Structure 1
């Protein structure tokens, strides 16, 4: 297959803008990684008008997907965790072209997982966990058990991903296989949720209790990144928080996360006079005592 595709990727490899080319072939163990295609060609470029550009090819009875992706987009996916297959492609794909050892250096970076990168990734995953947990609990209290079940499964998934990240690894596509080795307690909760003979209501009740404890025990780590960003100035408006280049990655979960941390005392909400005597601006600042506690742990 590589020989057949060589004219396609060699043309791109010759361009100065191309950083590297990886070939990923479907096999029985990791067939889900290639999105039903027989082969994936991943081409990373320095910059492009479109951050992601995809073409499909056929050869005999083989299907091939070619993805040309900017370095900035790849790094964003790796940070946010919104395209988990990319990690597998980088780790398990065959490098066909590697300008200035781009892929070699990226793999080392992923394996070492710099501490600051972990802090940001933990914060983002924790904010997603909080949203799913709070929404699921609301569904449960209203008696919408199937919707609550869906949210609890997602919550456990984020808890599992957090345990993997805390261990210094990147979550792969087969995240539960990783969780089973790294944090069996979370895996056991997931197993009980999907296999228990208890009623759905009872399973959810127990899982919400267990999840609440697990979330509480991880709040210091989950809050660390956003608090360290916020300590750089005394007060923040919500729009200033949305506009910050690192906090933008929290996306739609940012406001729910901030309100959760206000409720837990990690962030303080301050009122300021507005044009109306009856309405006040709401500004936010770090509870420095909580930040010191986190740093001391």
Structure 2
């Protein structure tokens, strides 16, 4: 496919807007990294008109997909961690064009790029999964609790990788096995133990509580930094804050968790109705 795609990426590379061109070829049949395609052509552009543009190609030798991504969109994905496959393409693909070493510089700066924000986002997801899972467990809905525990362990694993200055790959458990064997052992116990499901979940919730407690200060650092910029916040102001918008649906659960842990304080202010107060928030 490389020869077939060469004229396409050469044409793209000639554009002054193109920052980098990366080619990713499948390693095995049905390779998930290439979405079943024989090759992926990733093109990063400074043009913001179309943040994402995708085209598919085919010839007698196979099929390929081209993804043209704007720099701002790519950086957003890097920050939020919502497109892990794109990260794998960047780090594992073959760089064919790199204007002013844009791709190489991105690889160097990435482990530290927005690390505090990425930790906050991952930690907030961990908290939500843990809390919802524990609620199902207390209601004896063990299968639903199990599903949430698996999700919480995934977020815990990704958080451990970020803490170590790395980016969570698609094969995150291979990373965690080397970085934090205790978390890997926890996951292993959940899915491989012969103990009854109820007993496994009980042990996992106790262990998860320990891991969450030890990471709360680091996980809350970003949101506390943002909130310290003004004396107190209405919940709508927090939702509208550009940085905190990335927490999305996890924001309010995360705030209540931090209130419970003493990192954030509730401030009651008068409303038009003297029988009820507005509930605002400030850092402790």
Q: TM-score range by the shorter chain?
A: over 0.9
Normalization by structure 1: what TM-score?
Answer: 0.93
Residue 8 (structure 1) aligns with: 8
2:63 aligned with 1:66, yes or no? no
Per-residue deviation at 1:151? 0.6
Per-residue deviation at 1:48? 3.0
Q: Gaps spanning 5+ residues in structure 1: where?
A: 288-297
Residue 123 (structure 1) aligns with: 120
Residue 290 (structure 1) aligns with: none
Per-residue deviation at 1:160? 0.6
Residue 81 (structure 1) aligns with: 81
Residue 218 (structure 1) aligns with: 215
2:200 aligned with 1:231, yes or no? no
Alpha-carbon distance in structure 2 between the residues aligned to 1:49 and 1:138: 45
Per-residue deviation at 1:85? 1.0
Q: Gaps spanning 5+ residues in structure 2: where?
A: none
Per-residue deviation at 1:96? 1.1
49-58 or 221-230: which moved more?
49-58
Partner SS, residue 96 of structure 1:
strand
Alpha-carbon distance in structure 2 between the residues aligned to 1:16 and 1:204: 55
Contact 2:40–2:67 under 8 Å retained in 1:
yes
40-49 or 165-174: which moved more?
40-49
Alpha-carbon distance in structure 2 between the residues aligned to 1:206 and 1:30: 38
Matches within 5 A, 1:84-99: 84-99=84-99
Alpha-carbon distance in structure 1 between the residues aligned to 2:218 and 2:178: 21
> What is the number of residues matched between the two proteins?
284
Per-residue deviation at 1:123? 0.4
Residue 291 (structure 1) aligns with: none
Alignment RMSD: 1.4
Per-residue deviation at 1:61? 4.3
Alpha-carbon distance in structure 2 between the residues aligned to 1:23 and 1:262: 47
Residue 240 (structure 1) aligns with: 237
Runs of at least 4 residues of structure 1 off by over 4 A?
none
Residue 56 (structure 1) aligns with: 56
Matches within 5 A, 1:13-52: 13-28=13-28, 31-52=31-52
Partner SS, residue 160 of structure 2:
helix
Instruction: Find the partner of 1:185 among 182, 204, 225.
Output: 182
Partner SS, residue 47 of structure 1:
coil
User: Any idea what the Cα deviations from partners look like across 1:216-241, whole Å, max 9, x if unmatched?
Assistant: 11101101111011111101111111
Normalization by structure 2: what TM-score?
Answer: 0.97
Per-residue deviation at 1:29? 10
Change over 3 Å in CA distance of 1:30–1:189 after alignment to 2: farther
User: Any idea what the Cα deviations from partners look like across 1:153-175, whole Å, max 9, x if unmatched?
Assistant: 01001111111111111111110
Contact 2:129–2:152 under 8 Å retained in 1:
yes
Alpha-carbon distance in structure 1 between the residues aligned to 2:155 and 2:14: 41
